[in-house]
Amino acid sequence: MHQLEISDLITAVDPHSGRRLPVRRTEVSQQLRESGDEHAARIVAGLPTDEDGALDPHAVDRLLISVHTELQRLSEELRIGERLVHLLGPLFTAIRSTTGKPGPYRLVDVGCGLGYLVRWLATTNALGADVELVGVDLDATLVGEADRLAHAEGLDCHFIRGNAFDLPEAATVYVSTGVLHHFRGPALAEFFQAQAASPAYAFCHFDIAATRLAPIGPWIFHRARMRNPLGRHDGVVSALRAHSDETLLRTASVPGIRALLYEPRGAVNPFCTTLRPIIGARPQLEAPLRRALGRDARRMVGPEHLAEPTR
């Protein structure tokens, strides 16, 4: 059975107009039951509906903002901003030295949610004044809340509702945190192919590391750290849906992109590893990126890491 995340099912948007579509509670509950997840079906059954049995969009919006606020707290505790800058700093150094072009450069956060990463980068100015910071998400409510928070905090960044790969101005670097496991099968390959087909120089996507500890470890962690039942459920399912090293490296290895995995399985303690990145760079960037990383470049491997030993 394919395990499903509740948050993926309780909102729907017309891909062309961006108009929000009604979602019937009974249909979502049935879909979850058919996947073998009675617990998730009960969570959805407790959500309010309108007279027609569609989930109340305002209640869903409040719920998603609440869950994403808890995710932001976890990102702060796990120091995701610092970990991303540890790679993005050298990556932009490599881009600046290789292209020889002055900025501005453009970082686009795919599936930005409440925009924590973009807002953290804007607060710290960790990447430099020549990097424009943009968050993109398909959920208008989350984008609206991210924009409100950025204005309240007086930050120089902005947020857009839509498809990150259809923006009028292309990214220099695409990033994301906790997004890759949502893409299954051909959709994961299409995600990487869209970036390779764009003018972008690189991408850096942090996602949940697949470890032998799932589901027990994530269950204990989310039970202790998440207050909302939906957040607890989806957090555990996310860990179960995490892509393997092999899947990430092979799928990200598309023409024109050199795929590199940082901290592959076996190189780190699974008890301490939560999120780790897959990096994609134009081939000419790999050498300057490794130079900029210094000794830490040893923690970065390419698809040849997966090659079977010759007999």
Q: What is the DSSP string of 137-180?
A: ES-HHHHHHHHHHHHHTT-S-EEEES-GGG-SS--SEEEEES-G
| pLDDT digit string, tens, across residues 75-122 | 888 889 999 999 999 999 999 999 888 889 999 999 999 999 999 999
Lowest mean pLDDT among 29-33, 213-217, 286-290: 213-217
Supply the pLDDT for residue 240.
Answer: 86
Task: Please report, as a single letter, which amino acid is at residue 300.
Answer: M
The pair of three-digit structure tokens given for residue 291, joined into one six-digit string? 């130079």
pLDDT of 34 above 80: yes
Instruction: Let me know: does 280 contact 202? Beta carbons within 8 Å.
Output: yes
Instruction: Let me know: does 180 contact 248? Beta carbons within 8 Å.
Output: yes
This prediction has a pTM of 0.90
* φ/ψ of residue 27, rounded to 5: -70, -40
Ordered alpha helix ranges (H), 176-260? 186-196, 216-225, 229-240, 245-252
Task: Please report, as a single letter, which amino acid is at residue 28.
Answer: V
> How high does pLDDT run on average in the chain?
89
In this prediction, residue 275 has a pLDDT band, given cuts at 50, 70 and 90, of confident
Supply the pLDDT for residue 224.
Answer: 63
pLDDT of 181 above 90: yes
pLDDT of 277 above 60: yes
**Long-range residue pairs from 218-226, CB within 8 A, at least 24 positions apart, any chain:** 225/70, 225/74, 225/77, 226/70, 226/74
* Secondary structure (3-state) at 83: helix
Closest to 2 in 3D by CA, of 269, 240, 214: 240
pLDDT of 164 above 90: yes
- Measured distance between the N- and C-terminal CA atoms of the chain, rounded to whole angstroms: 37
Residue 66 CA to its chain's centroid (Å): 18
Supply the pLDDT for residue 236.
Answer: 85
Virtual torsion, Cα 289, 269, 207, 302, nearest 10 deg: 40
pLDDT of 29 above 80: yes
